[in-house]
A and B are shown apart, each in its own frame.
Chain A
Amino acid sequence: MEDNFVEFHNVTKKWGDFVGLDGINLKIRRGEILTLLGPSGCGKSTLMRIAAGFELPTTGDVIIDGRQMADTPPEKREVNMLFQRYALFPHLDVFDNIAFPLRIQKRPKEEIRQRVEKMLELVQLKEFSSRWINEISGGQAQRVALARALIGQPKVLLLDEPLSALDLKIRHHMLEELKRIHRETGTTFLYVTHDQDEAMILSDRIVLMNAGQIVQMGTPDEMYGKPQSLFAAKFFGETNIVEGKLVRSADRCAVETTDGLITVEDKMISEGSRVYASIRPEAFVISNHAEGNIRGIVEDIENIGARTVCRVRSGSGHAYRAQVFRTSAISTPPIGANVALSCAPADVVLVSQ
């Protein structure tokens, strides 16, 4: 069911001459996790703050569940935010922090107690309810903040780089937690991050932003496998970019590069145009026989846990990164070895500038 729950209509934000957001149109579906991804300064946080009501758009509007938000102050919007640095109230303990929104609404005591206890259970902090917030760890603090943001049953939960203040191990655990809590509550999540791994793990859909504009939007698989621009290709994980000219012969379509021809699928791009070929390190097959698109010498070998990445310097001086899977069948070539790199045409993605 196509159910647009939050809509940004032509949202522009300017500060003086600086354009922070440039005509953003975006629709978020009910119950999905949508991630705004991009480098710092791309406008993703501003877009989220506009949804929360902390910033007003210069033009355009936000519609949440059918209601225009232009004249609605933050406290009247049915969205809640999870802040990067938790923003827990230091003068209240865990229980009172979580109870804060209900106390503001002047709910009866018994209801507050029950709902806070339910939230404490959800975030698995039952035994911490009377701790002061300087007595809990960063991961626990973020879970308290999560409980506090969800207790009012918001229509949308805004998450502003909520894991960036946590260390790596806890970050992965928190991602799992966020997924679980999303499953259990069914709340729509709008997640902001500059970390593509977080975005890939968590999201139903990713919106890639750059310089105040949406660059590309799609599922994590689409974003990784079918980047539409150089920026998108480089932003999602590691890739090799080779520049060249599109050539066509009777039976094949290829990119002519300084390292020879790289065969690609024919995508009806006009012959002779300058294109960039993006090839993921794992798409290369590394071999020692002569046939193969790119020939070079193994310059360096990186062992990254389960995978091994060879840096291959080609004849033209270009460095390629090619991945070797550590199985007993394939042995990693030694440094200095002459090798050939080849890849299936389907794994070469052509992108424009």
Chain B
Amino acid sequence: MRLYLTAFLLFLFGPIAVIVLFSFHSSPALIFPFQGFSLQWYGKLFANAAFRSSFWNSLQVGVATTIITTVLGSLTALALIRMGRRSKIVVEVLSLAPIGLPGLFLGVALLTLFARIGLPRSLVTITIGHVLFTLPFFVEAMRSRITYFDFTLEEAARDLGASPWQVFSRVTLPILAPTIMGGAMLTFALSFDEFIITIFVGGNDTTLPLFIWSLMRRSIEPTINAVSVITLLLSLAALALAGLMLLAQRRRTAIARTPLFED
């Protein structure tokens, strides 16, 4: 049992550890023995204008996609749980189906569409593609949690004097906030990584995955390790941020009340 777990964890985290290690390697060789630490690959990377612009592009697309998907997806999920059983099944299947669709297909379809309506390929078209791609994942992530949402809480709030809008802003939204945040993080990660659809609808704008791919085509350079580590850090930062926000929310309510009991 313990052996299996060790092997499992090694399998999961081994490659990550190797990449992180070699991104600090002082020699370009990607083999052991390790020859000392250096930040030269990071330096090289940040000196590269193509990296900087693709990184910036990915951030923009990621943030825009996350905002749009989170708003649309939350509304969809909230509508979904209030639907009648039959229409609910139809909408559920339809909204989930694109997950099974090959990215290739979506890419070609979007490309054709954009050409037809004369929308030039840019970060905007990439964002549209990403929203389309991430929305089903977001809705699915929310739906599985929202199924357990207790609607008597909304009734109780109404009963205690809250208008429908106040019920949403003071009860439904705060209770679902962690779920929505989780979905938003997932969306950002998916968008930040997305490759196939981006190739089709990207035009001249490069995102980070496209940049990495172009690096790979020439030769396997150690800068790739550095790029990977930066991507990893970004994901970890997003996670940490979400956690901190939750913590802060709890503390805020606690602090807001303490003075009330000091008499």
Contact = CB atoms under 8 A, between A and B. Distances in A.
A93 B177 CA distance: 17
Contact of A74 (B159, B170, B257, B260): B159
Interface stretch (B16-24, B102-110, B148-156): B148-156
A149 B174 CA distance: 21
B175 A89 contact: yes
B161 A75 contact: yes
Contacts of A52: 159
Interface in A121-155: 129-130, 148-149, 152
A337 to B, nearest CB: 55
Given A85-B152, A96-B253, A104-B166, A75 B159 contact: yes
A87 B257 contact: no
B44 interface: no
Contact of B153 (A80, A87, A113): A87
Contact of B160 (A96, A130, A148): A148
Contact of A80 (B152, B159, B166, B177): B159
A87 B157 CA distance: 9
A75 B261 CA distance: 30
Given A75-B162, A105-B161, A91 B175 contact: yes
A103 B171 CA distance: 13
Interface centre among B161, B174, B257 (most CB of A within 10 A): B161
A54 B155 contact: yes
Interface in A55-96: 73-75, 79-81, 83, 85, 87-93, 95-96
B90 interface: no
B254 interface: yes
Contacts of A80: 159-160
A278 to B, nearest CB: 39
B145 interface: no
Nearest to B151: A87
B160 A152 contact: yes
A108 to B, nearest CB: 12
B171 A87 contact: no
B150 A87 contact: yes
A101 interface: yes
A100 interface: yes
B158 interface: yes
A104 B161 contact: yes
B260 A113 contact: yes
Nearest to A90: B175
Q: Identify whether the interface residues of B are mostly helix, strand, loop, or mixed.
A: helix
B159 A130 contact: no
Nearest to B159: A81
A129 B257 CA distance: 10
A130 B152 contact: no
A91 B155 contact: no
B163 interface: yes
Interface in A156-203: none
- Interface size of B as a range: 20 to 34
Interface residues of A, number: 32
B146 to A, nearest CB: 14
A96 B254 CA distance: 10
Nearest to B162: A104
B158 A75 contact: yes
Interface string B88-99: 000000000000
A54 B159 CA distance: 9
A129 B171 CA distance: 19
Given A95-B257, A130-B254, A89 B158 contact: no
Nearest to A52: B159
Contacts of A53: 158
Nearest to A93: B253
B93 to A, nearest CB: 27
B152 A83 contact: yes
Contacts of A113: 260
B181 to A, nearest CB: 13
Given A91-B174, A113-B260, A152 B161 contact: yes
Nearest to A54: B155
B81 to A, nearest CB: 17
Contact of A87 (B155, B163, B170, B177): B155
Contact of A101 (B155, B161, B163, B261): B161
Contact of B156 (A87, A129, A130, A152): A87
Nearest to A95: B257
A130 B161 CA distance: 23
Interface in B207-263: 253-254, 257, 260-261
Interface in B171-222: 171, 174-175, 177
Nearest to B167: A75
A100 B253 contact: no
Contacts of A149: 159-160
Given A75-B162, A87-B152, A113-B260, A100 B175 contact: no
A83 B153 CA distance: 9
A74 B253 contact: no
17 contacts: A54-B155, A79-B159, A81-B155, A81-B156, A81-B159, A83-B152, A83-B155, A87-B152, A87-B153, A91-B174, A100-B157, A100-B170, A101-B160, A104-B162, A104-B166, A104-B170, A130-B254
Interface of B: 150, 152-153, 155-163, 166, 170-171, 174-175, 177, 253-254, 257, 260-261
8 smallest A-B Cβ distances: which pairs? A87-B156, A101-B160, A87-B152, A74-B158, A91-B174, A104-B161, A113-B260, A81-B159
Given A104-B170, A105-B161, 14 more contacts: A73-B158, A74-B159, A75-B159, A75-B162, A80-B159, A87-B153, A87-B155, A90-B153, A91-B177, A92-B253, A96-B257, A129-B261, A148-B160, A149-B159
